[in-house]
């Protein structure tokens, strides 16, 4: 491994790209610690500590790399950009205008990127306004307010600062994609999640030193974490290969086609999106609860939607299975694949081109998505299982599965795959002597 790392820095272009990527990520982490003016950071920190983990703020704070709970200039993180991208992707499945843009090649992609940027600014402005109102509404802690001087000027300044911060993050991500290594947006989310790991490990070490956790228990937890990571890697890399044969064509004196290849259908085509959709919906019941007066009935119903409840796990898992099929249907269109194969003279042996090919691919995709979706639901629920039966902190438990682990594994594999491509292109060995690391679907 040391030789491989040394080889990386022998290639000037690859070295330059990696150092540029690290430089941008350092800038992102610095910006995540610059607070918005007009906020009492100590009171805000005490408020979120009193709330505990597991709510909607914990989900968004994970994507923001801890910047949301500190109310920094990067508090919104990259979530507005991701939201705008998801909205446009969903619109592309139902609105003819966006369907046309998706089929126009490079020009269409440029137009979609431009619309996504405008949408990012709009969503950022709305979210920053909502966050400003929320910060002003927090009750005093120990006689101190989170916002000592609330009012319209605070709201305007917060909207301007946080929206500018989100646009800057979007630009930094694009710079990494163009001039660095890996997918910039994914790496920004990745570094924000990984930045929480040292504090989570430090907390566990303190628990062990203080005698609250046995050494054997910590060792078992670490082994379980390694096994979980291995299982997520298998889920991310798992594919079903459909053989494809291309007919020979004679053009002039040259013969084209005739080669055999395959269509790799992923076991988890939807990636991490089903978990994000399901989590967002599962926060709704507890949000509605705040509009009703406290009572025994409300308390009982609310207990079913706590993340340590078996009912919560069952509903959450079922929703992940549903959204996995839903998002897979949007992300992968068997009809388009069959049409493209037919146009280029490709066919699946034993299957007629056209409609029958689309049906054949759709049947296989439906079958492999079922075990993939169930396993994805198990990965998503596992951190809550760990919290309930081992009493570890919420932050540390998120590295046992769920959104955090899926993003970490997916982005790491994608970045390594890009580095391997640079090495192999210059006739160096990759990280692995046998096999190849498959890329993955980017955010």
165 and 54 in a single domain? The answer is yes
34 and 145 in a single domain? The answer is yes
Instruction: Answer whether residue 434 is part of any domain.
Output: no
Q: Which two tokens stand for residue 288?
A: 């509605």
Residues 6+ apart with CB under 8 A from 241: 262, 263, 264, 265
Contact yes or no for 264/241 (Cβ under 8 A): yes
Instruction: Answer whether residue 432 is part of any domain.
Output: no
Instruction: Answer whether residue 367 is part of any domain.
Output: yes
- The pLDDT of residue 163 is 93
Contact yes or no for 261/314 (Cβ under 8 A): no
Q: Which two tokens stand for residue 137?
A: 């509404």
162 and 14 in a single domain? The answer is yes
Angle (CA) 253 257 260, round 5°? 150
49 and 134 in a single domain? The answer is yes
Contact yes or no for 166/81 (Cβ under 8 A): yes
Instruction: Answer whether residue 442 is part of any domain.
Output: no
* Residue 243, strand partner residues: 262
Angle (CA) 124 178 6, round 5°? 125
Q: How far is CA 94 from CA 88, 90, 281, 319, in A?
A: 10, 7, 22, 22
Of 134, 161, 195, which residue constitutes the final position of a domain?
A: 195
Cα end-to-end distance, the chain, whole Å = 29
190 and 250 in a single domain? The answer is no
293 and 344 in a single domain? The answer is yes
181 and 235 in a single domain? The answer is no
Of 195, 216, 234, which residue constitutes the final position of a domain?
A: 195
Contact yes or no for 384/317 (Cβ under 8 A): no
Of 145, 176, 195, which residue constitutes the final position of a domain?
A: 195
Residues 6+ apart with CB under 8 A from 47: 138, 141, 146
- Residue numbers of the domain that contains 169: 1-195
- The pLDDT of residue 443 is 46
Chain-centroid distance of CA 365 in Å reads 22
Contact yes or no for 50/14 (Cβ under 8 A): no
Q: How far is CA 203 from CA 305, 308, 362, 369, in A?
A: 27, 21, 47, 38
Residue whose entry in the numeric block shows the structure tokens 């709970």 = 69
153 and 269 in a single domain? The answer is no
Q: What distance in Å separates the CA atoms of residue 195 and residue 200, rounded to the nearest whole number?
A: 10
Q: What is the CATH number of the domain that holds 183?
A: 1.10.3370.10
Domain count, the chain: 2
Instruction: Answer whether residue 438 is part of any domain.
Output: no
Give the per-residue SS3 of the chain: CHHHHHHHCCCHHHHHHHHHHHHHHHHHHHHCCCECCCCCHHHHHHHHHHHCCCCHHHHHHHHCCCCHHHCECCCCCCHHHHHHHHHHHHHHHHCHHHHHHHCCCHHHHHHHHHHHHHHHHHHHHHHHHHHHHHHHHCCCECCECCCCCCCHHHHHHHHHHHHHHHHHHHHHHHHHHHHCCCCHHHHHHHHHHHCCHHHHHHHHHHHHHCCCCCHHHHHHHHHHHHHHHHHHHHHHHCEEEEEEEECCEEECCEEECCCEEEEEEECCCCCCHHHHHHHHHHCHHHHHHCCCCCCHHHHHHHHHCCCCCHHHHHHHHHHHHHHHHHHHHHHCCHHHHHHHHHHCCEECCCCCCCHHHHHHHHHHHHHHHHHHHHHHHHHHHHHHHHHHHHCCCHHHHHHHCHHHHHHHHHHHHHHHHHHHHHHHHCCCCCCCCCCCCCCCCCC
Contact yes or no for 346/244 (Cβ under 8 A): yes
Contact yes or no for 88/115 (Cβ under 8 A): yes
Cβ count within 10 A of residue 250: 9
Instruction: Answer whether residue 394 is part of any domain.
Output: yes
385 and 253 in a single domain? The answer is yes
92 and 142 in a single domain? The answer is yes
Instruction: Answer whether residue 426 is part of any domain.
Output: no
- The pLDDT of residue 68 is 75
207 and 169 in a single domain? The answer is no
- The pLDDT of residue 435 is 53
Tens place of pLDDT per residue across the chain (443 aa): 667 677 777 788 888 999 999 999 999 988 888 888 888 877 887 777 766 555 566 667 776 777 777 788 888 888 888 888 888 877 877 888 888 887 787 888 889 889 999 999 999 999 889 888 888 888 777 778 888 888 899 899 999 999 999 999 999 999 998 998 888 888 888 888 888 888 888 887 887 887 777 788 888 888 888 898 888 888 888 888 888 887 766 666 666 556 778 888 888 888 888 887 887 777 777 667 766 776 777 777 777 777 778 888 899 899 999 989 988 888 888 888 888 888 877 888 888 888 898 999 999 999 999 999 999 899 888 888 888 887 777 777 878 877 788 888 888 888 888 888 877 776 655 555 555 555 555 44
335 and 262 in a single domain? The answer is yes
Quote the longest CA-to-CA distance of the chain: 87
Instruction: Answer whether residue 407 is part of any domain.
Output: no
- The pLDDT of residue 159 is 92
């Amino acid at each position: 491994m040391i030789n491989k790392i040394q080889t990386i820095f022998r290639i000037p272009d690859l070295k330059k790209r990696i150092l540029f990527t690290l430089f941008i990520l350092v800038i992102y982490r610095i910006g995540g610690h610059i607070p918005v003016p007009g906020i009492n950071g100590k009171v805000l920190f005490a408020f979120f500590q009193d709330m505990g983990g597991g709510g909607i703020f914990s989900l968004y704070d994970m994507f923001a790399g801890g910047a949301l709970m500190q109310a920094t200039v990067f508090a919104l993180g990259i979530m507005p950009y991701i939201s705008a991208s998801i909205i446009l992707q969903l619109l592309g499945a139902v609105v003819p205008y966006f369907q046309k843009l998706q089929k126009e090649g490079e020009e269409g992609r440029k137009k979609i990127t431009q619309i996504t940027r405008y949408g990012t600014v709009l969503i950022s402005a709305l979210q920053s306004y909502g966050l400003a109102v929320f910060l002003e509404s927090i009750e005093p802690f120990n006689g101190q307010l989170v916002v000592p001087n609330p009012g319209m000027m605070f709201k305007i300044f917060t909207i301007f600062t946080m929206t500018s911060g989100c646009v800057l993050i979007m630009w930094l991500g694009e710079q990494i994609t163009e001039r660095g290594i890996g997918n910039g947006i994914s790496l920004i989310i990745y570094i924000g999640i990984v930045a929480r790991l040292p504090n989570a490990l430090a907390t566990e070490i303190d628990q062990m030193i203080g005698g609250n956790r046995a050494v054997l228990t910590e060792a078992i937890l670490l082994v379980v974490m390694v096994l979980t990571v291995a299982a997520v890697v298998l889920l991310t890399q798992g594919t079903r290969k459909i053989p494809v044969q291309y007919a020979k064509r004679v053009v002039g004196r040259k013969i084209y086609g005739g080669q055999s290849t395959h269509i790799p259908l992923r076991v988890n085509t939807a990636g991490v999106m089903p978990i994000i959709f399901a989590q967002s919906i599962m926060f709704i019941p507890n949000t509605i609860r705040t509009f009703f007066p406290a009572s025994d009935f409300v308390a009982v119903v609310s207990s079913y939607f706590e993340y340590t409840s078996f009912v919560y796990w069952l509903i959450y898992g079922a929703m992940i299975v549903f959204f996995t099929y839903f998002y897979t249907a949007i992300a992968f269109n068997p009809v388009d694949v069959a049409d493209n194969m037919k146009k280029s003279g490709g066919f699946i042996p034993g299957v007629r081109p056209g409609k029958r090919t689309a049906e054949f691919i759709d049947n296989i995709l439906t079958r492999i998505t079922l075990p993939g979706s169930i396993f994805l639901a198990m990965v998503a629920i596992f951190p809550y299982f760990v919290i309930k039966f081992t009493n570890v902190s919420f932050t540390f438990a998120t590295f046992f599965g769920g959104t955090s682990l899926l993003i970490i594994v997916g982005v790491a594999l994608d970045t390594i795959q890009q580095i391997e491509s640079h090495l192999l292109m210059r006739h160096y060995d990759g990280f692995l002597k046998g096999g190849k690391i498959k890329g993955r679907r980017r955010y």
